[in-house]
Structure 1
Amino acid sequence: MVHLDVLIVGAGLSGIGAAYRLQTQAPSHSYAVLEARTDLGGTWDLFRYPGIRSDSDMFTLGFPFHPWKAAKAIADGPSILEYLHETAATYGIDKHIRFGRRVVRASWSSEDALWTVETSQETYTCSFLYVCSGYYNYDSGYVVDFPGLQDFQGKVVHPQHWPDDLDYNGQRVVVIGSGATAVTLVPAMAPTAAHVTMLQRSPSYVASRPARDAFSDRLRAILPERLAHHVIRGKNVAFSSAVYGAFRRWPAHAAWLLNTTVAKQLPASIPADPHFTPRYKPWDQRLCLVPDADLFEALKDGSASVVTDEIDTFTPDGIRLRSGEELPADLVVTATGLQMVALGNIELTVDGRAVDPHDTFVYKGMMLSGVPNLAWCIGYTNNSWTLRSDLTSQYVCRLLNHLDATGARICVPEIDPAEYDAPPRPVVDLSSGYIRRAASILPRQGSYGPWRLRQNYPRDLFTLRYSRIDDGTMRFSPAAEPVS
């Protein structure tokens, strides 16, 4: 059995960032990264559908310690994967990754102050377990059992399982969905397909922005690389935080602005209402990004179209809608969403007691109430994932160093139900379908204090970097003290 001070689960953006922070801010701790797949990259290695790209700018989605150097601020998936490989190799992180190790279960012993972590290959022990596998199910996306699907004579593909040899050249394609995946696929497939139709039951808010940031290009031309990176990163964080705050405070004005902007980019044949006028408030769900207005250009030149309706049934030659309209199709792409999991679907026990993540509250957006020496790395929904994940990793390093300095071996956040009577909320506070479907399995958050996961980077920056570790909520102890 192999022992490490820290085990990191997942070798994607979060896991690579966590490894760097451990090496530099808690260097006395040995670690390994356990990755279920055969390569690093996480999401960026998993998804291979046409047009796959970031929906955040790379100056904030990229690592603050390893500046993004490519020209495009909104980058394609292969470029991001290459960047992750380069980062891991540059800092020697790749030597710590153990591939093909899917973590199945983890058992905590207070007597030993250790986690026993079972993988598909071998068993480890560690003093601290850091789960950086995100919250998406990598094995399967969300699949809808559409009526008549078995009668369809064409191909049906889910974006999460895109075949390498799929040829859609000259074919009639229907993409079912209106989220980020759909608005990415439609313009990417349109140039070679005969025609691409985006079929949506209800629209999403969509915003266009240039793939290249002209201001950032000018700064990088005159400033040293690292200085330019920090200035651009700060500017982008400030802008996105201000826009999010304004949109949440004045949702009616935000909706008007988004709808008006989209209407100006659409051809006269496609009205903004109903095709781009959502039923929800801006940022009740994530905003879909359209780089260089590529979706609108495809709609203008006629290579793509949008239909807002509901599916009645699949037919041998396509899809019949509730309105009676028939959409002919050779290929249907079901961009119907993702499935979420809590803590990588790892089976957790604490001193022999099974832990249901839904019964826990999230402390400072990363630790679970009543679960010792474990952190879960999740990012922002209103900003780049890495902004939050990097703060979490730095806090974990502070926590590990505090344990060493005080001689404690166990840290566990404890919530007192008698004192904390605020109603629980989902840890991911959006109304998107994939989040509503996972509400019964995800940990919860409170309404205030360290139990609230805020979507506020400036506030988190101060709290996670400079606030007291021993704050009265986190309980510290030596070993041999069972967790209640």
Structure 2
Amino acid sequence: MSSVPSPAAPEHLDVVVVGAGISGIGAARYLTTELPQRSFAVLEARGTSGGTWDLFTYPGIRSDSDLHTFGYEFKPWRDRQSIADAPRILDYLRETVTENGLDAHIRFHRKVVGVSWSSAEARWTVDVEHTDTGERSTLTAGWVFVAGGYYRYDEGFTPHFEGRERFRGTVVHPQHWPADLDFSGQRVVVIGSGATAVTLVPAMAATAERVTMLQRTPSYVLPVPREDKVAALLRRWFGDERGYALTRRKNIAQQRAIYRFCRKHPQAARKLIRRINTRLLPEGFAVDEHFNPPYDPWDQRLCAVPDGDLFRAIREGRADVVTDRIVTFTEDGVLLESGRELPADVVVTATGLNVQAFGGLRPVVDGREVDLRETVAYKGVMLSGVPNLAFAIGYTNSSWTLKIGLLCEHFTRLLRHMDEHGYDTCTPEPSDPDMPTRPFLDFAAGYVQRAVDVLPRQGNRVPWLTPMDYADDVRLLRADSVVDPELSFSSARARAAVAA
């Protein structure tokens, strides 16, 4: 009598990294160099690496942080541009992949759609959708490292606009920019005042008939040099490696100093920014109407414009700014509360992102779905009550990657500690279940406020705080031990023996 073969066991990996963007590539590099004995794979839903820098293709897309801090600590940024455009950043990321042999670890068209933890087996079951074929597969992992950032890749935020269906022109969201959109000689209205809007306006103004930035509320906008001359000198004097390290240290200190000055002396910072804006705008320009926000500097992120390109476009008459509210779209443009109608052939809704924690994943622990709203972030890298799951969220007030590097270091040190002591499970748990909490991202930006009720929380003390300060994180994630009284370590084998 023939026996029926049992189905093959799913592939098992020590770590599954979700996402091959800047955070996932960084995590893969640290795993490769710090824990070469560990097996891991990077699962990427799209067909290419690079994350944001491959997804977004709108005109002028660039970083709003300098690449000496936005780049990885382990890989010098050698390009002359400090505020760099997307193709240069993408080249840098893909060089990182190649130089560190990460290509073999990245699996494209693999979207993680479910993760379920078993305490008895001390492993995650990871459900994967093959986005190119529609097939489903399963693998298991000791750890899941979620590196997909905090916004939805498939959908940007666009509020309801009355009468939009009547508009005879083209409406486009920057997150889904049509490759064949020709706006040369066209009248363009860009709705928004954030980083995307201030990038789009000068880039489109180069060929459009005229570009108008239509904003409901002004933002703080500061010119920054596209090229860092000090960085060039340091590289010339000290070479790539040491010159990069010195520039990085300089720029970290500069970012922290500007942020602290703005928070400690908001009125002085407001006056200084206004003075800079006035100097760069045409004489008689309504600075207070269009560049004087009702909130203090760094209540929301400051917008950086390389070499003042937005102000230059306004001075040259190729762009303008209107601060008003939309009543309705018309056949030929946008009607405002003031009664003014802005004519347009193309309207760009640069109205922001949809925040989505963990790429939409809802972890399941021992059969119970985790409600993220009821969890508290541990050191900004794990969740209370959720074993062996780490996530990567960078800074909102500085370069994203500064924090990613620190938490990847901490993550690999944590895994090494578990290896050395025979642990297979670690779970953060607050010693005080009634600890006061506050929003995980304590930031006034609209895209954060729209999602604050669906995100994890943070506590009121270390290690349950989520610092937005690099020096604090150096102490918490690099200098401090991975051993903590509120992080429990255990072994499934030992638990089974006790139960027996």
TM-score of the aligned structures, taking structure 2 as reference length = 0.95
1:246-257 mapped onto 2 (5 Å cutoff): 246-257=261-272
Corresponding position of 1:56: 65
* 2:257 counterpart residue number: 242
Aligned partner of 2:189 in structure 1 is 174
Matched, 1:290 2:305: yes
Farther off after superposition, 335-344 or 268-277: 268-277
Aligned to 1:456: 469
Q: Distance in 2 between matches of 1:479 and 1:279?
A: 55
On the 8 A contact 2:47/2:109 being kept in 1, the answer is yes
**Which residue of structure 2 aligns with residue 228 of structure 1?**
243
Q: How many residues in Structure 1 have an aligned counterpart in Structure 2?
A: 480
1:334 maps to 2:343 = no
Distance 2:95 2:470 in 1: 27
Task: Write the distance in 2 (CA, Å) between the matches of 1:416 and 1:146.
Answer: 48
Write out the 4+ residue segments of structure 1 that deviate beyond 4 Å after TM superposition: none
What is the Cα deviation at residue 218 of structure 1?
1.1
Q: Which amino acid aligns with 2:492?
A: A
CA distance in 1, matches of 2:304, 2:270: 15
Instruction: Supply the distance in 1 between the matched residues of 2:284 and 2:338 (Cα, whole angstroms).
Output: 19
Alignment of 1:266-281 (within 5 A): 266-281=281-296
Q: 2:435 aligns with which of 414, 417, 421?
A: 421
Matched, 1:409 2:424: yes
Larger Rg: 2
Q: Counterpart in 1 of 2:3?
A: none
The 2-side partners of 1:274 and 1:416 are apart by 50
Q: Which of 454, 464, 468 is the aligned partner of 2:481?
A: 468
Q: What does residue 398 of structure 1 align with? A: 413
Residue 79 of structure 2 corresponds to residue 66 of structure 1: no
Distance 1:134 1:400 in 2: 22
Letter in 1 for 2:349: T
1:309 pairs with one of 318, 321, 324: 324
Select 1:430's aligned residue among 429, 443, 446.
443
Deviation at 1:256, TM superposition (A): 1.6
CA distance in 2, matches of 1:238, 1:54: 19
Q: Which amino acid aligns with 1:257?
A: L
**1:28 to 2:37 alignment:** yes
**Residues 1:208 and 2:217 are matched in the alignment:** no
Question: Which of 197, 204, 215 is the equivalent residue of 1:189?
Answer: 204
Shift of 1:88: 0.4
Deviation by residue 1:126-156 (Cα, 9 ceiling, x = unmatched): 0011000000100000011101101000000
Letter of the aligned partner of 2:490 in structure 1? Answer: S
Question: Within the alignment, does 1:445 sit opposite 2:458 as a pair?
Answer: yes
Aligned pairs for 1:37-186 (under 5 A) are: 37-121=46-130, 122-186=137-201
> In structure 1, what is the Cα distance between the partners aligned to 2:229 and 2:219?
27
- Tell me by how many angstroms 1:310 deviates: 0.3
What is the one-letter code of the residue matched to 1:174?
V
CA contact (8 A) 2:431 2:486 kept: no
Match of 2:390 among 369, 375, 399: 375
Deviations 1:240-265 (A, max 9, x none): 11111121112121112112211211
Whether the 8 Å contact between 2:435 and 2:460 is mirrored in structure 1 is no
How far apart, CA to CA, are the structure 2 residues paired with 1:100 and 1:283?
Answer: 38
Tell me how far 1:321 sits from its aligned partner.
0.3
For 2:290 and 2:217, the matched residues in 1 are separated by 8
The one-letter amino acid paired with 2:97 is A
Classify the secondary structure of the residue corresponding to 2:355.
coil
3-state SS of 1:126 partner: strand
Query: TM-score normalized by structure 1?
Result: 0.98
**Residue 223 of structure 1 aligns to which amino acid in structure 2?**
F
Name the stretch that deviates more: 183-192 or 439-448: 439-448
Percent sequence identity is 53
Q: State whether residues 83 and 226 of structure 2, in contact with CA within 8 Å, keep that contact through their aligned partners in structure 1.
A: yes
| Counterpart residue type for residue 326 of structure 1 | E
2: CA distance, partners of 1:476 / 1:89: 35
Provide the C-alpha distance between the structure 2 equivalents of 1:426 and 1:103, rounded to a whole number of angstroms.
26
Q: Partner of 2:7 in structure 1?
A: none
1:221-275 per-position Cα deviation (integer Å, ceiling 9, x unaligned): 1212100010000010011111111211121211121122112111124211110
Aligned match for 2:334, one of 296, 319, 324: 319
| Matched AA of 1:72 | Q
- Could you list the per-position Cα deviations for residues 78-111 of structure 1 after superposition, in whole angstroms to 9, with x for gaps in the alignment? 1111111111011111211000111101000000
Distance (Å, rounded) in 1 between the aligned partners of 2:145 and 2:419: 17
Please state how far the C-alpha of 1:417 moved relative to its aligned partner.
4.1
Give SS of 1:415's match: coil
Give the 3-state SS of the residue equivalent to 1:450 in structure 2: coil
CA distance in 2, matches of 1:478, 1:416: 21
Q: State the secondary structure of the residue aligned to 1:5.
A: strand
Q: Residues 384-417 of structure 1, C-alpha deviation per residue, up to 9 Å, x if partnerless?
A: 1110001011100011001111111110000144
